[in-house]
Chains A and B, each alone.
Chain A
Amino acid sequence: EAGVAQSPRYKIIEKRQSVAFWCNPISGHATLYWYQQILGQGPKLLIQFQNNGVVDDSQLPKDRFSAERLKGVDSTLKIQPAKLEDSAVYLCASSPLGETQYFGPGTRLLVL
């Protein structure tokens, strides 16, 4: 079974630029999550989708971050404009209707 795929793996941008990350969850998994992991900290949930609907986006900085999950499969997370403090690893995870989440390898973002 293929795992959660993410791209790109690494991205370097300058502040105020925009960036987008892509996630392809495990086939058949209804729930998709985006986490932000700042160096030295645990992952923090940004947004949770159930199929193509948003379940929880309470910690998503909506003035600069946006996410969508069209057709209930792939998802994109966008930052516009980026700030220095957005430097982090962005993790995508998926799960079937249940608790165990399966994580992708992450996208490491550096904002200069």
Chain B
Amino acid sequence: GDSVTQMEGPVTLSEEAFLTINCTYTATGYPSLFWYVQYPGEGLQLLLKATKADDKGSNKGFEATYRKETTSFHLEKGSVQVSDSAVYFCALGGSNYKLTFGKGTLLTVNP
């Protein structure tokens, strides 16, 4: 079945550091890939998505590229801010648009 494996956390960075959160997936067919973010006390929000191989999703300075050859969708940001502190979830969109999530990665950014 479909599955998503993402980097174990927590991740702690200083402000303006470079961020990478790894995500790999297993799926049949050609799924869409998503990154969702959950800020403290809030619901999940879509951060970015990519619907086919080699697509790059981007939003708020975050980027992720759909790599079919390595079945990966790693999240990157060149310079993180304190306000980026949150839990980040990688997800795969399968049949009937069902989402399969990874376990989440807690990011803490210190000033």
CA distance A77 to B100 in the complex (A): 20
Residues in chain B within 8 A of chain A (CB atoms) = 4, 32, 36, 42-46, 49, 51, 89, 91, 93, 96-104
Question: Are A41 and B103 in contact (CB-based, < 8 A)?
Answer: yes
A31 touches B (CB below 8 Å): yes
Question: Are A42 and B103 in contact (CB-based, < 8 A)?
Answer: yes
Given contacts A41-B103, A45-B98, contact A105 B42 (CB under 8 A): yes
Question: Are A40 and B103 in contact (CB-based, < 8 A)?
Answer: yes
Contact for A101 among B42, B51, B99, CB less than 8 A: B99
Given contacts A41-B104, A43-B101, A95-B97, contact A104 B49 (CB under 8 A): no
B residues less than 8 Å from A95 (CB atoms)? 97
Question: Which chain A residues in 69-107 approach chain B with CB under 8 Å?
Answer: 91, 93, 95, 98-106
Given contacts A40-B103, A41-B103, A42-B103, contact A31 B44 (CB under 8 A): no
How distant is B104 from chain A, measured CB to nearest CB, in Å? 5
Residue on A with the closest CB to B93? A99
Question: Are B96 and A48 in contact (CB-based, < 8 A)?
Answer: yes
A56 touches B (CB below 8 Å): yes
How distant is B86 from chain A, measured CB to nearest CB, in Å? 14
A residues less than 8 Å from B51 (CB atoms)? 99
Question: Are B98 and A91 in contact (CB-based, < 8 A)?
Answer: no
A12 touches B (CB below 8 Å): no
Residue on B with the closest CB to A41? B103
Residue on A with the closest CB to B46? A100
A20 touches B (CB below 8 Å): no
Question: Are B96 and A106 in contact (CB-based, < 8 A)?
Answer: no
Residue on B with the closest CB to A100? B46
CA distance A33 to B98 in the complex (A): 9
